[in-house]
Structure 1
Amino acid sequence: MESNDFTFVLDGENIHFEPGQTIMEAASHAGVYIPHLCYHPEFKPRGSCKLCTVKINGYFGTACTLPVQPGMQVESDCDEVNLMRRRVVQMLFIEGNHYCPFCEKSGNCQLQAVAYHVGMLDSHFPHFYPLRQIDASHPDMLLDRDRCIQCELCVRASRETDQKNIFGLAGRSTHTHLVVNSESGLLGDTDFSINDFAAHICPTGALIPKTQAFNIPIGRRIYDEQDIAKVGHLQPDESLQSNQQGEAK
């Protein structure tokens, strides 16, 4: 098969892909954003949040896990898929306690940015108002489980990148919750560090560095003026650096 045969159709556009790439990888390489929360290019995808669901030749599947095939017809930006994604995001909001105006992650939060991107205007479903444990035992980091969406990114980052295995998930269904692997169950009783990859990968405000809430002022944060489709996986410190470079020009 010639290289020019490695194309598929995404929302009516022909997209080139490399053999072995998933729909998400091929779309990202082509500069096309597919909403996601549990996916990160550093780790093997699991498709657990279902936010990247697309329609493939008339059937639904997760873009982060499905390999591209030549001639594949993929719909991502259509009314049916967008409504499905909006409902997924709404469910994530009502299953936790996400008070964006009072959250220090506001403007840097991927969940908040995705909600704007999919056009979420209300929560649609009744709120659960869970009461989960807040762990402030660590000198540098705060763990607020009320904002956790069980994406497992911190679990995978700690295990696969940091080689520490600090986090895990316990429970089932809506009772699933983040746990800390220490005898006391407290983050302060582990060797977790603010320099760990896991400390900066959370897409919400569940893991927050202490004493750094306004290092990046409101109005200059990643998603304050840009849609998430334009900035992808930038971290807050990258956003500040980018803004500073822009001001220097």
Structure 2
Amino acid sequence: MSTQHILLDGLPVSFTDGQTIMQAAMAADIFIPHLCHHPEFKPQGSCKLCTVKANGRYVSACTMPARDGMEVENNSPDLNDKRRTMLQMLFVEGNHFCPSCEKSGRCMLQALAYELEMLTPHFPQFYPDRAVDASHPEVLLDFNRCILCELCVRASRDVDGKNVFALSGRGISKHLIVNAESGRLADTDFSLADKAAHVCPVGVILRKRRGFAVPIGSRRYDVQPIGMQVERLARRTTTEEV
């Protein structure tokens, strides 16, 4: 069978049957901004950061199958401007205080803001009133930072088989919950060994007694910006935190 290619920002990128634009790009070490994509999970296109133009149409790169001869636009001023707007909305819809966050330097939301040169949140802050759950002996949940990517929901359901997390509500009231009558993580069978404990791209699921262990300057995205870590993003493992 002849090799199939898409044209990604003018560069020929090969792919195999069944691969999405995102998968083809990552295999070629080409970065497409994303938050909800994970190589081990079925894509669902919830964050829209990976929006590209395929043959002139806006599509989600993580869900759109690659097709031979498809012309894809990814790194353009128009698309990056739209991505910055989406990032700005994510920042103001939660309580993201990067200097004091334990995930600072290892947070994909923060790293993408740097990558796309987001200099201001632009929109008025919502300052939602969200609780912190410190009931579990090993894990702290800070719901203030949730971006509704559903990675923990999918990991707990599809990999761990526990259904510890879920989303509740609609629209602006939509939020992450713990599937326990009490709503407390301590009243579930959640464990640090779970896949769900290691997939959060921001700072919601935090291991206790490990905060700020890596000094500034040595953190993941201090060492190398997210756009240069395509290979690492393409091979996430259960033991490696995002």
Q: TM-score range by the shorter chain?
A: over 0.9
Aligned equivalents of 2:169, 2:102: Cα separation in 1: 28
Q: Deviations over 1:177-217 (max 9, x none)?
A: 01111110100111111121111110000111110013322
- The correspondence of residues 18-33 of structure 1 with structure 2, limited to 5 A, is 18-33=16-31
Contact 2:131 2:142 in 1 (8 A): yes
Query: Normalising by structure 2, what TM-score?
Result: 0.94
- The correspondence of residues 1-249 of structure 1 with structure 2, limited to 5 A, is 2-4=1-3, 6-232=4-230, 233=233
C-alpha RMSD over aligned residues: 1.5
* Partner secondary structure for residue 39 of structure 1: coil
Q: Deviations over 1:217-238 (max 9, x none)?
A: 2221110121102224368975
Aligned residue-pair number:
237
Aligned equivalents of 2:237, 2:88: Cα separation in 1: 24
Q: What residue ranges of structure 2 are gaps of 5+ in the alignment? A: none
Q: What amino acid does structure 2 have at the position aligned with 1:154?
A: C
After the TM superposition, which segments of 4 or more aligned residues of structure 1 sit over 6 Å from their partners? none
Aligned equivalents of 2:132, 2:212: Cα separation in 1: 21
Q: Deviations over 1:15-38 (max 9, x none)?
A: 111111000000000110100001
Deviation at 1:109, TM superposition (A): 0.5
Aligned equivalents of 1:180, 1:238: Cα separation in 2: 23
Q: What amino acid does structure 2 have at the position aligned with 1:9?
A: L
Contact 1:216 1:236 in 2 (8 A): no
**Structure having greater relative contact order (Cα 8 Å, sep ≥ 6):** 2
Aligned equivalents of 1:103, 1:236: Cα separation in 2: 22
* Partner secondary structure for residue 80 of structure 1: helix
* Partner secondary structure for residue 221 of structure 2: coil
Aligned equivalents of 1:149, 1:220: Cα separation in 2: 25
Aligned equivalents of 2:160, 2:213: Cα separation in 1: 25
Contact 1:55 1:74 in 2 (8 A): yes
Contact 1:155 1:165 in 2 (8 A): yes
Aligned equivalents of 1:60, 1:183: Cα separation in 2: 41
Contact 2:195 2:238 in 1 (8 A): no
Contact 1:150 1:178 in 2 (8 A): yes
Q: Deviations over 1:21-72 (max 9, x none)?
A: 0000000001101000011011000001100000111110000000011110
* Partner secondary structure for residue 37 of structure 1: coil
Aligned equivalents of 1:107, 1:94: Cα separation in 2: 19
Aligned equivalents of 2:238, 2:57: Cα separation in 1: 36
Contact 1:108 1:236 in 2 (8 A): no
Identity of aligned residues (%): 57
Contact 1:221 1:236 in 2 (8 A): no
Deviation at 1:119, TM superposition (A): 1.1
Q: What residue ranges of structure 1 are gaps of 5+ in the alignment? A: 240-249
* Partner secondary structure for residue 224 of structure 2: coil
